[in-house]
Structure 1
Amino acid sequence: MRNVRRWIGAAAVPVLVLAGGVTLAGTAVALPDTGSVAVSNGSDAPVTFEADGTTFHGSLRNPDGAAVAAALLLPGSGPTDRNGNQPGVAADTLVRTADALAAHGIASLRFDKIGAGETGLGSYTVETVGEYGFTEQVDHAEAAVRLLAERTGVSPEEILVLGHSEGALTALALADRGIGDGFAFLAPLPMRYLDLLTAQLNAVVDSGQLGPDGEAVRADLSRAVESLRTTGAFPTDLHPVLAQFGMNPANAKFLFESDKLDPVELAAELAADTPVLLTCSDKDLNISCAQVEPLRNALSHTDLQFEHFTTANHSLEELGPLQPGPADQVALLPTSFEFSAAIDGWAAARGR
């Protein structure tokens, strides 16, 4: 899908994955959709809901026995499906999280966002997808909350909200609307969106992957950020590499709106003693633990469970002694042992 976003959740520094599954080295990656996986806790039921003229498709995970709580699961950036996957990027992050929650009696809803799975582009076309902004993404998540509340009887104010990567910003935006009574920010976007993209792209330039074009890309990167923040649009003469990394007209509205929100400021506004799970990992090439630290400090007034992993990649898969890299983006690896223990402990305190 041309120009559809594939950023934080799909990108790895020093090698970022571009739209269409092509890496900087020019290697095409095309993996089949992993589809549904074996469910070991509870069972999935297909659901749909309407928002902004689009029918969203998802799965409601019902635990064995009566549900004692309900959770909305929000994916990372780009065209991510209900399981947490994209074409060429296998992780099953969300379906594995649903499984962990169900073991503690927590029902959960996850859905194919715009550009992914059965939802597809919905009411948008390739030509009009640039009209899709972050505000719409939060609206769609709120519509999912309403469906979850209807199906489980848990009010929107009491629903748990778990967001992976960019999904953590969506979760914080829902909290700002008064939704949620417990949050998990998993490998979260920890700063303003354009600041993180700048850090990621500067790391690519520093790695030498762009060769002699590197410094030109760096200069245009600064110009692109300044222009978007002041005018809401990107300059028309940016280096083509920046367009490949998402800085193009199709993404301008989404980036402009999402960049206005500072996760640290939103986190500081959460009610005292709100249950929060926050994670980072030393082997996350997209977001470092040092970048997450200001977010951790902003959450100090909450009932915070902070987990500093050492062997999990950005998708919360287990790397063990292996070094992170492009291969672990495309291969479906086992769930991180550290994440399994962390989500199990957090869910146990929320469920039965």
Structure 2
Amino acid sequence: MKYFAIFLFWIFLPAQSLMAQQGENVTLHTPTGNIQGTLLIPHVKGKIPVALLIPGSGPTDRNGNNPMMKNNALKMLAEALYQNGIASLRYDKRGVGASKVPGFSESNIRFEQYIADARGWVDFLKQNKKFSSIVVIGHSQGSLIGMVVAQDKAVSKFVSLEGAGDPINVVLRRQLQSQPEQVKKPAFAILDSLEAGKQVKNVPAWLYTLFRPSIQPYMISWFRYHPQKEIAKLHKPVLIVQGTTDIQVSLSDAGKLKKADPSAQLLIISGMNHILKDAPADRQENIKTYNEPDLPLNKKLVTELVKFIKE
């Protein structure tokens, strides 16, 4: 049987000096290791809002990059906010970059740890009297994490950037639906087991990358969180952003989030893809942008984010 590939990154964001834009390295101390980030604060008088940028899935660092792709999306976003008088904090995920903690292994990570790390950063920002408000911005998988974290009363607003509207197990089933029956049948059987909280030891070789035993505990913990249920718990300003050329998350996902939180603002940006940049609908050309670190962010995205944060 031939191996197959699923295009899924869930499992594997007045002008001042460049020196100032590099920001300050900051550390979140946790019982299970330190998480490293960058705090970028514009040199302006008075209090200003600060945005916590939560990265997407896989081994993603504070700039929105991973070993397979470099797009600098989160770095560019932080710098764009900085240029508009908004502070930001972005960080390397646990086990990634400067946040490699002692004893870290894939088999030990749980979705709740990512939530705890983001909550820790919110607590960190609470201590800084420079900030007038805290806005949580979650990209991709970070959107779901952000929904949970933004339930904290200290968070004034929440932004979902290209966030899924369904739980990840539903997304996986949808993506697997187009596969041949000899692939789909064992994959669905594994999903049935994981949804029941039971791990699967014997995984077919052609499904091993997706369902390797070491990632299964994490997937089980991730399955427990439903984006529509979590966003409905937010009784504060919410902005849902979705690009029309995103080949990972669809317009229907954004629609489901909006339905779950009718008071949320829904922003559809024509021609913007999953990494927040202008890209064609053609799949191969779209994917090329994932490794173009100098390609700028979509301009409308920056304008609307600044407006939402400051209004």
Shorter-chain TM-score range: 0.7 to 0.9
Residues 1:174 and 2:149 aligned together: yes
Q: Percent identity?
A: 24
Offset at 1:115? 2.6
Q: What SS does the corresponding residue of 1:59 show, helix, strand or coil?
A: strand
CA distance in 2, matches of 1:47, 1:264: 33
1:269 pairs, out of 233, 238, 242, with 233
Q: What residue number does 1:56 align with?
A: 35
Which AA in structure 2 matches 1:61? Answer: L
How big is each residue's C-alpha offset from its partner over 1:124-169, in whole Å with a ceiling of 9 and x where there is no partner? 334xx312101111111111112222234548xx410000000000
1:254 pairs, out of 197, 218, 226, with 218
How big is each residue's C-alpha offset from its partner over 1:54-84, in whole Å with a ceiling of 9 and x where there is no partner? 1111100111314511111000001100001
Count of equivalent residues: 301
Aligned pair in 2 of structure 1 residues 228, 51: CA closer, same or farther (>3 Å)? same
Q: What SS does the corresponding residue of 2:27 show, helix, strand or coil?
A: strand
CA distance in 2, matches of 1:90, 1:200: 24
Q: What residue number does 2:115 align with?
A: 138
Residues 1:287 and 2:249 aligned together: yes
Tell me, yes or no, if the aligned pair for 1:319 and 1:336 is still in contact at 8 Å: no
Residues 1:334 and 2:309 aligned together: no
Aligned pair in 2 of structure 1 residues 336, 42: CA closer, same or farther (>3 Å)? closer
2:198 pairs, out of 225, 230, 233, with 233
How big is each residue's C-alpha offset from its partner over 1:17-40, in whole Å with a ceiling of 9 and x where there is no partner? 7988xxxxxxxxxxxxxxxxx959
CA distance in 1, matches of 2:108, 2:193: 18
CA distance in 1, matches of 2:229, 2:307: 29
How big is each residue's C-alpha offset from its partner over 1:39-61, in whole Å with a ceiling of 9 and x where there is no partner? 59845111111113211111001
Offset at 1:187? 0.5
Tell me, yes or no, if the aligned pair for 1:90 and 1:331 is still in contact at 8 Å: yes
Tell me, yes or no, if the aligned pair for 1:64 and 1:102 is still in contact at 8 Å: no
Tell me, yes or no, if the aligned pair for 2:163 and 2:253 is still in contact at 8 Å: no
Alignment of 1:119-130 (within 5 A): 119-120=99-100, 122-126=101-105, 129-130=106-107
Aligned pair in 2 of structure 1 residues 351, 42: CA closer, same or farther (>3 Å)? farther
CA distance in 1, matches of 2:304, 2:152: 27
Residues 1:222 and 2:188 aligned together: yes
Aligned pair in 2 of structure 1 residues 79, 18: CA closer, same or farther (>3 Å)? same
Offset at 1:198? 2.1
CA distance in 2, matches of 1:17, 1:171: 18
Offset at 1:258? 1.9
Tell me, yes or no, if the aligned pair for 2:63 and 2:74 is still in contact at 8 Å: yes
Q: What residue number does 1:33 align with?
A: none
Aligned pair in 2 of structure 1 residues 327, 345: CA closer, same or farther (>3 Å)? closer
Tell me, yes or no, if the aligned pair for 2:269 and 2:300 is still in contact at 8 Å: no
How big is each residue's C-alpha offset from its partner over 1:166-215, in whole Å with a ceiling of 9 and x where there is no partner? 00000011123445210110001221111112223334x2xxxxxxxx32
1:91 pairs, out of 67, 71, 75, with 71
Residues 1:79 and 2:59 aligned together: yes
CA distance in 2, matches of 1:292, 1:241: 32
Q: What SS does the corresponding residue of 1:182 show, helix, strand or coil?
A: strand
Aligned pair in 2 of structure 1 residues 154, 61: CA closer, same or farther (>3 Å)? same
Aligned pair in 2 of structure 1 residues 341, 325: CA closer, same or farther (>3 Å)? closer
Tell me, yes or no, if the aligned pair for 1:159 and 1:181 is still in contact at 8 Å: yes
Structure 2: any 5+ residue segments left out of the alignment? none
2:23 pairs, out of 36, 44, 47, with 44
Alignment of 1:97-112 (within 5 A): 97-112=77-92
Q: What residue number does 1:343 align with?
A: 302
CA distance in 2, matches of 1:321, 1:79: 26
Offset at 1:89? 1.0
Offset at 1:330? 2.6
Offset at 1:243? 2.2
Which AA in structure 2 matches 1:263? Answer: P
CA distance in 1, matches of 2:114, 2:102: 13
| RMSD, aligned CA | 2.6
Which AA in structure 2 matches 1:319? Answer: A
Tell me, yes or no, if the aligned pair for 2:42 and 2:87 is still in contact at 8 Å: yes
Q: What residue number does 1:115 align with?
A: 95
Q: What residue number does 1:208 align with?
A: none
CA distance in 2, matches of 1:200, 1:78: 18
Q: What residue number does 1:24 align with?
A: none
Tell me, yes or no, if the aligned pair for 2:200 and 2:213 is still in contact at 8 Å: no
